[in-house]
Amino acid sequence: MTARAESVARPPALRADLATVRVLVRRAANEILRVPGAAIPGVLAPTIFFVGLTAVFSGLTALRGFDTDTYQSFIVPISLLQGAGFTGAAAGVNLARDIEQGWFDRLLVSPAPRPVLLAGMVASASLRSLIPATFLLAIGFAIGVGWPGLDGLVLALAFVMATGAVAACWGVMIALRFRTQSAAPLMQSGMFVLVLTTTAYAPLDVLQGWLADIARLNPLTQVVEAIRSGFVTGSVSWADAGQGALAVAALLAVLGAIALYQLNRTGRR
Amino acid sequence: MPAIEVTGLEREFEGGIRAVDGVDLEVAAGGIYAFLGPNGAGKTTTVRMLTTLLRPTGGSARVAGHEVIAEAAAVRRSIGVALQEAALDPLMTGRELIALQATLHGLGGGEGRRRGGALLERVGLSGAADRRVGTYSGGMRRRLDLAAALVHEPRVLFLDEPTTGLDPVSRKAIWEEVAALNREGATVFLTTQYLEEADRLADRVGIIARGRIVAEGTPGSLKAEVGHPHLEIGLAEGSIERAEGIGAAFGRLQPARDGKVLVELEGGATQVARVVRALDDAGLAVESLELVEPTLDDVFVAKTGEHIEAGASGEPAAAPAAADGEGSARA
């Protein structure tokens, strides 16, 4: 104990930062591995929506604007994004818990840069969003969702992870603002509204009034359409994929910047 | 260079609540400084500012030579922190927690594992290292938290109420570890509401009440400020009046209590033997003798007119005989 902090040999900064992200992801994974029930809400809710809506509204594909006659292929993208939204926003709930229990202070008092701490939380959520996606796709393919091709599948999973990251930034932002798990409904409902006010259950041509206006403006609509093209047509529309990528990148940039701003301001109030 | 320098430190929260109101203090490198005060006095708020968790709203503070706002990252590299509620993830094992802490401080995997293993051994948790923290007792959690705070070998160690809620055995184990760390060169800043803890561990004590430091100095000098030790004499047989006459030669008589003679020894504890000899020479049989030192609670009372909450002290107001030769000595 005689050697003191400044004499410690340290790995290069980038390697140390990546190692920090890795340990934060591993800690988040502990919750899934050691308390598997923690993953159930993020899996169950979108699956129930998916199966239930497919059963009730399968006849909608007869309307104009639907490019498929299997409603489950049409709505599977929205269920995937719902799962990502729930799971991602749970990062905010977990952060609020960590703030309340004092664990977050352990991170804040360490020399790890704030953007690295945020990256750890977001990366954890992004990876966790693959759990409901895997479950949903297994159910979906079993009940007739069209095969999107390998590239379509990879693209869908990439968008799921990106949406999980967006939701995590939103959740972190709310958690840092309110610093209590009582804000969990706001974290979850925010993503719920963002996902549902897209072309979630019907094409843009079929939507009317305020919902059509909002869906047109909602950047997540681009993501939904990008994923949907693979499941509905069996091949990826790279034009839609590009627009979707731009939209999700913009969301990530804006919400990530706000979350980081909030993180840097921690301790001022 | 002092390890901690604080000038006019202030923290006002939303709503105008001033938790810390112009604190000045200096902690020498290699010292143990105890910040003593009741709940809500401003101890934790001060620690949170010194550890960069909370931004001061006034004044300045330097820790390990670095300014806490402008050089926050450098401060964080130099300090170890164990906060009031041991912030541990119950799902992780002790070994995983230490490894995570090492990584947060930029230590490579091998180095982190080596130091983690040594620290777990040091705090007596090797056998429980692969158990989940959720199964640990309160004392084990505190020791793990302490080990985690040490993994990067900090120059300055902040311990916020490190023994609150612990049983006496666990408390003693933490005290021994803190003293050992200090002997190895770490500067320790600890907050406590336990009088005995401050008295026993610290070489300087700051007493805080309502956000202000009301007294500061070595435990001995603070207690000396509020008076001399009292000698309480119980007689087996003989006249109390005669005993009072003898006692008066050594200091001011205090009103008798429970049939015992009470003398404030102006010459301090060194006069006890002379008093006993004088009583013996006068043929008075002494049944009991108790030397009652002023306590830090007496200092607190003298400065604020209030006691440190009785429930918080955890110990009788008089320090026990075992505490560094001070406190009560029974004959």
CA atoms of B92 and A155, how far apart (whole Å):
34
Closest Cβ–Cβ partner in B48, B53, B87 for A103: B87
pLDDT at A32: 87
Mean pLDDT of chain B: 87
Other beta carbons within 10 Å of A167? 32
Q: State the DSSP string of B130-150.
A: TSBGGG--HHHHHHHHHHHHH
Residue A57 has pLDDT above 50, yes or no: yes
pLDDT for res A63: 86
Q: What is the mean pLDDT of residues B283-304?
A: 85
Chain A residues whose CB is inside 8 A of the B108 CB are 9-11, 19
| Interface membership of A37 toward B (CB under 8 Å) | no
> What band does B323 get if pLDDT is binned at 50, 70 and 90?
very low
Q: Are A1 and B103 within 8 A, CB to CB?
A: no
Residue B77 to residue A6, Cβ atoms within 8 A: yes
List chain A domain ranges: 3-265
How much is the pTM?
Answer: 0.85
pLDDT beyond 60 at A48: yes
CB-nearest to B153 from A3, A19, A105 is A3
Q: Cβ–Cβ of B152/A5 closer than 8 Å?
A: yes
In a mutational test of the B interface, the residue from A109, A117, A177 whose CB has the highest number of chain B CBs within 10 Å is A109
Per-residue pLDDT tens digits for B43-70: 999 999 999 999 999 999 999 999 999 9
Q: Which residues of A touch B107 (CB under 8 A)?
A: 8, 10-11
Structure tokens at A11: 């790995």
| B192: β partners | B36
Interface list for A 7-26 with B (CB within 8 A):
8-11, 13, 16, 19-20, 22-23
> Does the interface ipTM go beyond 0.90?
no
- Whole-number Å distance between alpha carbons of A55 and B83: 54
Query: How many beta-carbon contacts under 8 Å exist across A and B?
Result: 113
At residue A80, what are phi and psi to the nearest 5 degrees? -60, -45
More confident residue, B271 or A220: A220
- Rounded distance, CA A251 to CA A33, Å? 30
pLDDT tens readout for residues A76-126:
999 999 999 999 999 999 999 999 999 999 999 999 999 999 999 999 999
Q: What is the pLDDT of residues A189-224, one digit of tens each?
A: 999 999 999 999 999 989 999 999 999 999 999 999
Alpha carbon of A243: minimum distance to chain B alpha carbons (Å): 37
Nearest-Cα distance to chain A for B19, in Å, is 13
Instruction: Kindly report the three-state secondary structure assignment for every residue of A203-249.
Output: CCCCCCHHHHHHHHHCHHHHHHHHHHHHHHHCCCCHHHHHHHHHHHH
Residues of A in contact with B109 (CB under 8 A): 19
CB atoms A3 and B89 under 8 Å:
no
- Decide if B100 and A3 are in contact by the 8 Å CB cutoff: no
Cβ distance B77 to A20 less than 8 Å, yes or no, reads: no
